[in-house]
Amino acid sequence: MVELEFQEKTKQLIDSLKSICATNGLGNSTGEFEIITQVFLYKFLNDKFAFEAKKIDANLAKAEKWEETVESMSEDDLEMLQLQMGGDTARLKPHHFISYLFSQQNEPDFAKLFDDTLMDIAATNNDVFSVMTDSGEKVRLFSRINENVTVSKRDAFCRAIINKLIEFSFERIFTQKFDFYATIFEYIIKDYNSNSGGKYAEYYTPHAVARIMAAILVPEAQRGQIKNVSCYDPSAGSGTLLMNVAHAIGENRCSIYTQDISKKSSNLLRLNLILNNLVHSIPNVIEGDTLRHPHHKDGAQLKKFDYIVSNPPFKLDFSDIREELDSKENKERFFAGIPTVPKKEKDKMKIYTLFLQHIITSLKSEGKAAVVVPTGFITAKTGIDNKILKHLVDNKMLAGVVSMPSNIFATTGTNVSILFIDDSNKGDVVLIDASNLGEKVKDGKNQKTVLSPAEEQKIIDVFNDKQAVEDLSVAVSYEEIAAKNYSLSAGQYFDVKIEYVDITPDEFKAKMQSFTDNLDSLFSQSHELEAEIKKQLAGLNYGS
């Protein structure tokens, strides 16, 4: 049970770091988020360096203190070693190691040394590990964590951290698989992803939803056979959706492209990519507004992708950029239209319709996409929503829809569905109504629905096999959908079953006789009461 043991130890490390932050008044703050993610990443890169170095150099593997052996190497030997490590391991120098910082912890201005070390690692690895903004600016791997800490406490703070980092090695986790890192990643971010992230709320996509999306986009039978494909998320957030798809395809067989307006999301995504051996995709991470400045292009045209996943913001006030979006160059991208600015309730503008259109126009011919949408979208009969539905149906580029149970997201009351776009599917479309699945659990103050692994698998199997299962799914043709005013709600195609048990003629007669007898009795009682009431009414007097 090595895996479980290390998972526990890793979680303990994370908890310790959080405890140190809490002690310094940083609990649950933006600063804590930056510190935890960066310190964890530093630890990860340090131990990964050790792991990779020992694989290459037998002397390092045998050494009692590998750091000292590296330190004694000549510059040429060290450079040679790092060249052999490959591009997804950060380049470190002996004075970057945790053990070195540990040995310096009692020196004056240790906090400054700590920050300088992180900044040096960032500078050394700038070409590979930086995220870019849509204006071309680079966002470095690390920032100065001590800016979040009270000046007088900084040295002690960093000493506490370095003592935690030195305690055990990550080296044995580098042979772990995707699920291990997914669990760790969720654990790291669980306190920081809420719906109070500002204008673009950073919603966290439940893992069950991400797994279903990946398993339907890349069915089991196709795994291992796809290669050199591109995967994209125009509102990537922390990258959970992309990690699941990349894992399904194979991390070394695909490249990831992202854009997200949130700096915080870009940092989380980079951490996710590094943890999941997708460092080669970091140059494709763009921090910026996808709608206003879509970055990924082939020349002047939008770049097209093999796979697209997204959990876009649903409703948002974008009234101040609405006119900017309504431009000649966006005519083709926003083919169904751009929501107008209402007089009231601007925060309910349907921004997801823009992301949907952007995704459709970013898809390669024969490409596939999975998008989380509000369930109301799939039955929209008017407006931009309906035009998008028509576009998907008339162009036969749908695989289907899975409507999720209520409260699958603990933080929003909106019911959600997953829309699967597939330009190569000209056959039936699968519609699944999973609203009756799942079990309700408490999640803080909110109620949340959780799907069991068996239920997840059932949804995946039913969808991929295009099964029609009573009360759960239907497989319908594009013509049938058009005839139903482009509705993608499974419920509207379910057969209305007549629940009736045949009765015999004798039973029918007996039942009718029973009705007659009951009515005779009721009529008699009714007549008696009528007589009584009339008599009483005749006895009424006004006054005395």
Q: Which residues bind another protein (CB under 8 A)?
A: 379, 381, 433, 435-436, 471, 485, 489, 491-492, 494-500, 502-505, 508, 511-512, 515, 518-519, 522-523, 525-526, 529-530, 532-533, 535-544
Backbone angles phi, psi at 306, to 5 degrees: -75, -40
Give the number of other Cβ atoms within 10 Å of residue 373's Cβ: 26
Supply the minimum distance, in Å, between the C-beta of residue 515 and another protein: 4
Give the number of other Cβ atoms within 10 Å of residue 56's Cβ: 15
Q: List all residues 6 or more positions away from 251 whose beta carbon is below 8 Å from its beta carbon.
A: 178, 276, 277, 278
Task: Measure the CA–CA gap between 322 and 279, rounded to whole angstroms.
Answer: 35
CB nearer another protein, residue 195 or residue 518: 518
Supply the minimum distance, in Å, between the C-beta of residue 143 and another protein: 47
CB nearer another protein, residue 10 or residue 379: 379
Task: Measure the CA–CA gap between 217 and 466, rounded to whole angstroms.
Answer: 14
For 121-166, the DSSP string reads HHHHTHHHH-EEETTS-EE-S---GGGGS-GGGHHHHHHHHHHHHT
Task: Measure the CA–CA gap between 481 and 489, rounded to whole angstroms.
Answer: 10
Total residues found in the chain within this entry = 544
Supply the minimum distance, in Å, between the C-beta of residue 443 and another protein: 22
Which DSSP helix (H) or strand (E) runs through 431?
A: strand 429-433
Supply the minimum distance, in Å, between the C-beta of residue 449 and another protein: 14
Backbone angles phi, psi at 245, to 5 degrees: -70, -45
CB nearer another protein, residue 331 or residue 535: 535
Give the number of other Cβ atoms within 10 Å of residue 298's Cβ: 8
The separation between the first and the last C-alpha atoms of the chain, rounded to the nearest angstrom, is: 94
Supply the minimum distance, in Å, between the C-beta of residue 514 and another protein: 9
Task: Measure the CA–CA gap between 259 and 273, rounded to whole angstroms.
Answer: 14
Q: List all residues 6 or more positions away from 292 whose beta carbon is below 8 Å from its beta carbon.
A: 321, 324, 325
Pairing of strands 131-133, 138-139: antiparallel
CB nearer another protein, residue 341 or residue 522: 522
CB nearer another protein, residue 75 or residue 499: 499
Task: Measure the CA–CA gap between 8 and 2, rounded to whole angstroms.
Answer: 10
CB nearer another protein, residue 340 or residue 513: 513
CB nearer another protein, residue 103 or residue 524: 524
CB nearer another protein, residue 343 or residue 535: 535
For 461-477, the DSSP string reads HHHHTT---TTTEEEE-
Q: Taking the CA atoms of 8, 9, 15 and 18 in sequence, report the sign of the dihedral they define.
A: negative
Helix (H, G, I), strand (E, B) or coil at 231: strand
Task: Measure the CA–CA gap between 313 and 497, rounded to whole angstroms.
Answer: 38
Which DSSP helix (H) or strand (E) runs through 418?
A: strand 416-422
Supply the minimum distance, in Å, between the C-beta of residue 342 and another protein: 20
CB nearer another protein, residue 80 or residue 512: 512
CB nearer another protein, residue 242 or residue 481: 481
Pairing of strands 305-310, 138-139: unpaired
Task: Measure the CA–CA gap between 142 and 133, rounded to whole angstroms.
Answer: 16
CB nearer another protein, residue 294 or residue 405: 405
Supply the minimum distance, in Å, between the C-beta of residue 541 and another protein: 5
Supply the minimum distance, in Å, between the C-beta of residue 405 and another protein: 10
Supply the minimum distance, in Å, between the C-beta of residue 383 and another protein: 14
Task: Measure the CA–CA gap between 126 and 538, rounded to whole angstroms.
Answer: 102
CB nearer another protein, residue 175 or residue 513: 513
Task: Return the exposure string of 399-412: e unless at least 16 CB atoms fall within 10 Å of the residue's CB, then b.
Answer: bbbbbbbbbbbbbe
Supply the minimum distance, in Å, between the C-beta of residue 317 and another protein: 25
Residue 375 one-letter amino acid: T
Q: 376 is written with which tokens?
A: 């109301």
Supply the minimum distance, in Å, between the C-beta of residue 524 and another protein: 10
CB nearer another protein, residue 63 or residue 469: 469
Supply the minimum distance, in Å, between the C-beta of residue 519 and another protein: 5
What's the CA dihedral at 343, 345, 350, 351 to 10 degrees? Answer: 100
CB nearer another protein, residue 2 or residue 512: 512
Supply the minimum distance, in Å, between the C-beta of residue 502 and another protein: 5
Task: Measure the CA–CA gap between 289 and 500, rounded to whole angstroms.
Answer: 57
Supply the minimum distance, in Å, between the C-beta of residue 321 and another protein: 30
